[in-house]
Structure 1
Amino acid sequence: MDINVSNFSMQTKVMIYSIAAVILTIGMRDIATILIPIFFSVFIFLIFAPLIYWLKRKGIPGGVSIGLVILFFIMVFTGTGVLLMEFLPQFTSQIPDYQIQLTESMESLAGYLPVGMPLEGFLPDIGVFIVGLTAGLLTTILNAGTTVGLIIITTIFLLLDIAVPGKIRKEAKKHPFLLSRTNDLGSKLVDYIVIRTGINLVGGIGAALILFIGGIDFAILWGILTFILGYIPYIGFFLAVLPPTLLGLFKYGIAGAMAVFVAIWLLNLLIENILFPSVAGKGFELPPSIIFISLMYWTYVLGTPGALIAVPLTMVVKMVIESSGDMRWRTELRESEKED
């Protein structure tokens, strides 16, 4: 028997969709270890795939284009991995010293607060928590070797699939409306990811240069961290600016910490409020409330990696919902035409 959900009442629809969302959420969370490499592989594939088509337009044969892009992809990830493996162990080995320095700084700062102020007793604990948070974040990146290996291999196979698109296109032509909606969704998603990656690259390089000029230790490491965390709206900036601000505090005192924070904050302000809107336009805007909810949701489902791709995943969900709504409208229009 064919069940048409559109004939149900609004309350019934809400209940059915809510139950489906809960079941889907639980299912995705249970297989998060499988979904994370897949999602990230598709995410990275969408970044590098346009390079293949660009090389083809320049007259380079398809096979050679794919080979060059795969080689470039491997070089980028290998180079980033080498830098992380070089700097992360050095930083983590100094974390106990940083904790001591931060506790001393917080205790000295507490001396300027009024006697009996509740914050006075919490400052040292806050300092230890901040350093521990930074250490945990970097350790997570360092221990992601197996997952990164799966992502690299899967991404390479996805790039190789571009060489044999004929069968896929032949099947897709049988469903022109679906093909049109899929192309529209894919182009918007690719545009967002490519633009976001370029903006993050500018931010990461800019932050590294600022910190290098300021004499802050591990400037390249914090530049890479700024690039990666740039995919997390709002929260990513504070997570990225925290470690170099602390190092500025150790090296130059309160004035140095403020200078580091303000310099990177101004850079982020320029990038997020001027550069990104001018390049991306209004087509990629999501309400702040939706972004915040999506961060919580995808972090709950996929863990910390979910925060990095929360916005692209939410854009996919939004486009699918819009597409299904458009499809439903067309179906109803056709049915009304038949009745007339």
Structure 2
Amino acid sequence: MSEGKAPRALVMLLIAAAAVVVLAGIKAINTIVGPIVLALVLVVAVSPIRDWLVRKRAPSWLRVAVPFSAVIVVLLGMVAILTTAVVQMAVLLPSYSAQFNKLVADAQAWAAAHGIAPQVNQALRSFDPGKIFSVVQGLVSSVLGVVSSLFLIIILLLAMSLDAPITSRIMAAAAAEQPAITKALTTFARKTRRYLLVSTIFGLICAALDVVALYLLHVPLPLLWGVLALITNYIPNIGFVIGLVPPALLALLTGDIKSMVLVILAYMVINVVVQSFIQPKFLGDAVGLSTTVTFLSLIIWATVLGPLGALLAIPLTLLTRALLIDSDPGLKWSGALVSGEVPPERPGS
């Protein structure tokens, strides 16, 4: 060990401790951090509109007003759809208690006829469909709660929209003196926009096909489950399962096991084919995160920021990578571990 240099293990422990402290601090004020991150991601998402207006030599006020208005329209649309969906779900669910009781009685009778009544009864006692719907309703309500904090979000969006032209000029001027951090932040913005664009397009395709399938299978509230499928499309790895469980359970309550199986098969054909085989070809290197890092980011940000953290897990991880790894050229191998891609060798090495 050279003099004046701390052991690597100690440095790693200090980094881990600092990360825990920072995440705990963010969790303590997650009701503020969540809207801030949401506003930042939305401003980044509509920045191409502002760049197009700049190229068209539009007035300064128009460069702020048009992107800002586009975000507001999206937020108001989400508020309207989610509010209607939550109200419909709250009114509908209590009416299916009789169907659930009948399913329980049928299952108990079948178990008794096959001599496995104790095991089935124990499983039925531990199963509560209300918990599944409460999880889904909690996810939707959490998103609705953040989006419906319109005053705070609108103020943040307006402030960020007003500062966006100045920020762009500062970034351009800083490129010569701080090329690493400038490139890292530019890459974050580009990858976030591409991720949101591709995820939204394919999420809309999957949601539309899911709604059609649920409508043909006579599952109640097909539009609600389509909106849920679109929202959960932004949750990596487990979003598909979250979006599938409620309509599959409703199909069982309103129909039979065959209806539930058909819903599961329809979702698997639509979502797995589109999201697993087609979407990655268009997404390409938009994320730049390995599968393990993506899954860990989902767990960490969902723990810190709740359901909104799960929805923003990828942009938050991309921002963290830009600030802590990509901004330091000496950490290229750390970036390789995060992305799962070996960095190209320098010429002559």
The 1:138–1:6 alpha-carbon spacing in structure 2 relative to 1, beyond 3 Å, is farther
Among 91, 94, 97, which residue is 1:93 paired with?
91
Q: Does 1:278 align with 2:281?
A: yes
- When the two chains are superposed, the root-mean-square deviation of aligned CA atoms in Å is 2.9
Q: Does 1:23 align with 2:45?
A: no
Distance 2:4 2:107 in 1: 63
Q: Does 1:208 align with 2:211?
A: yes
Distance 2:278 2:163 in 1: 34
Displacement after TM superposition at 1:194 (Å): 2.5
Displacement after TM superposition at 1:61 (Å): 5.2
SS of the equivalent of 1:51 reads helix
The 1:291–1:179 alpha-carbon spacing in structure 2 relative to 1, beyond 3 Å, is closer
> Which residue number in structure 1 is paired with residue 72 of structure 2?
74
> Which residue number in structure 1 is paired with residue 187 of structure 2?
184
> Which residue number in structure 2 is paired with residue 123 of structure 1?
124
Moved more, 265-274 or 63-72: 63-72
> Which residue number in structure 2 is paired with residue 318 of structure 1?
321
Work out whether residues 107 and 123 of structure 1, in 8 Å CA contact, stay in contact via their aligned partners in 2: no
Superposition pairs of residues 1-340 of structure 1, within 5 angstroms: 7-57=5-55, 63-113=61-111, 114=114, 115-123=116-124, 125-144=127-146, 146-165=148-167, 168-169=170-171, 171-173=173-175, 175-177=177-179, 178-282=181-285, 284-327=287-330
Displacement after TM superposition at 1:199 (Å): 2.3
The 1:119–1:150 alpha-carbon spacing in structure 2 relative to 1, beyond 3 Å, is farther
Q: Supply the AA of the counterpart residue of 1:101.
A: Q
Displacement after TM superposition at 1:217 (Å): 2.0
SS of the equivalent of 1:94 reads helix
Q: Supply the AA of the counterpart residue of 1:147.
A: S
The 1:285–1:258 alpha-carbon spacing in structure 2 relative to 1, beyond 3 Å, is farther
Displacement after TM superposition at 1:325 (Å): 4.5
Work out whether residues 213 and 266 of structure 2, in 8 Å CA contact, stay in contact via their aligned partners in 1: yes
Identity over aligned pairs, percent:
24
SS of the equivalent of 1:215 reads coil
Distance 2:209 2:184 in 1: 38
Residues 174-232 of structure 1: CA deviation (Å, up to 9, x unaligned): 52413233323332233223222222222222222322333322222211111111111
The 1:58–1:6 alpha-carbon spacing in structure 2 relative to 1, beyond 3 Å, is farther
Distance 1:167 1:69 in 2: 18
How many pairs does the alignment contain?
Answer: 326
Moved more, 158-167 or 78-87: 158-167
Displacement after TM superposition at 1:37 (Å): 0.7
Q: Supply the AA of the counterpart residue of 1:158.
A: M
Displacement after TM superposition at 1:38 (Å): 0.6
SS of the equivalent of 2:149 reads helix
SS of the equivalent of 1:233 reads coil
The 1:67–1:176 alpha-carbon spacing in structure 2 relative to 1, beyond 3 Å, is same
SS of the equivalent of 2:46 reads helix
Distance 1:111 1:288 in 2: 45
Residues 263-286 of structure 1: CA deviation (Å, up to 9, x unaligned): 112111122212221101145253
The 1:66–1:275 alpha-carbon spacing in structure 2 relative to 1, beyond 3 Å, is farther
Runs (5+) with no aligned partner, structure 2: 333-349
Distance 2:18 2:103 in 1: 51
SS of the equivalent of 1:274 reads helix
**TM-score, length of structure 1 as denominator length:** 0.83
Q: Supply the AA of the counterpart residue of 2:277.
A: I
> Which residue number in structure 2 is paired with residue 335 of structure 1?
none
Distance 1:100 1:263 in 2: 27
Distance 1:168 1:120 in 2: 66
Distance 2:287 2:156 in 1: 27
Work out whether residues 88 and 142 of structure 1, in 8 Å CA contact, stay in contact via their aligned partners in 2: no
The 1:181–1:315 alpha-carbon spacing in structure 2 relative to 1, beyond 3 Å, is closer
Displacement after TM superposition at 1:126 (Å): 3.1
